[in-house]
Chain A
Amino acid sequence: MAADFTMPSLGADMDAGTLVEWLVHEGDVVHRGDPMAVVDTDKSAIEVESFDDGVVQTLLVEPGARVAVGTPMARLGPAEAPAPVAPAPVAPAEVPAAPAAEAEAPAPVAAAAGPAPAVQPATEPVTTPRRRAARPPARPRAHPASPPVRHHAAELGVDLTSVDGTGAGGRVTRADVDRAAAARHRPPAAARRVSPYARRLAEELGVDVDQVVGTGPGGAVRADDVQAAAVPAARREAPEVAPAEPAPAAPTPPAPARAAGSRDAIAALMGRAKREIPHYYVATTVDLGPLTDWLRRTNRERPVAERLVPAAALLRATALAARAVPELNGFWVDGRFVPGEDVHLGVAVSVRGGPLVAPAIHGAADLDLPTTMQRLRDLVARARAGRLRRAEMAEPTLTVTDLGDQGVEEVIGVIYPPQVALVGVGRVVERPWAVDGMLGVRPVVRLTLSGDHRATDGSTGARFLATIDRLLQHPEEL
Chain B
Amino acid sequence: MSLFIFNKRFLVCLIIGCLPFCWGASSDSLVSHWAYVTPEHPNFSRIDNPNPIDHFISERLRKDGMRLSRLAKPEKQLRRVYLDLIGRPPQPGESQSFLSNPSDLEYNSTVDRLLASPQYGEKWARRWLDLARYADSNGFQADQLRDSWAYRDWVIESLNSGMPLDRFTIEQLAGDLLPQSTISQKIATGFHRTPTCNVEAGVHPESNRINQVIDRVNTTGTVFLGTTFECAQCHDHKYDPISMKEYYQLFAFFNNTPLEVKNTSGVTWDFYGPKMDLPLSQLKLKKKNLLKEELKAFELEKKNIKRSLSIEQKVWEDEILHTLKDAPKWNVFHIGAFSSTGDSSYIVNQDQSVLVYGENPDSSTYKIIIKDPKLVRVTSIRLEALLDASMKKNGPGRNFEVSDNPNFVLNEFSLKVNGRKALFSDAKASFSQEKFDVLGAIDNDAKSGWAINPQFGKSHQAVFTLKQDLLLETGSRLEFKLVQNHGGGRTIGRFRLSGIQGDHSKVNLPTEIQSILLLSDNRNDTQIKRLANYYASIHPRLKVIEIRLADLKKKIDDIKPETTLIMSEMDKSRETKVMMRGDYLTPGDKVTPGTPAVLHAFDKTFPKNRLGLAQWLVDPDNPLTSRVFVNRWWSAFMGRGIVRTQEDFGTQGEVPTHPELLDWLAIELVQKGWSMKHIHKLIVTSHAYRQSSVTTKEHLKKDPANRLYARAPRVRMSAEMIRDSALATSGLLEPKMFGPPVYPPQPEGIWRHVGRNAPKFLPSENENRFRRAVYVVWRRGAPYASFVNFDAPDRGACVVDRARTNTPLQALTLLNDQAFVEMSLAFAARILQEPKLVNDEQRIQFAFRVALARNAKQVEVDYLKVLLRKRENQLIKSPKTIDALLSEAKWVPFKTNNQEGIAKWFTVANILLNLDEAITKG
Partners in one complex: no
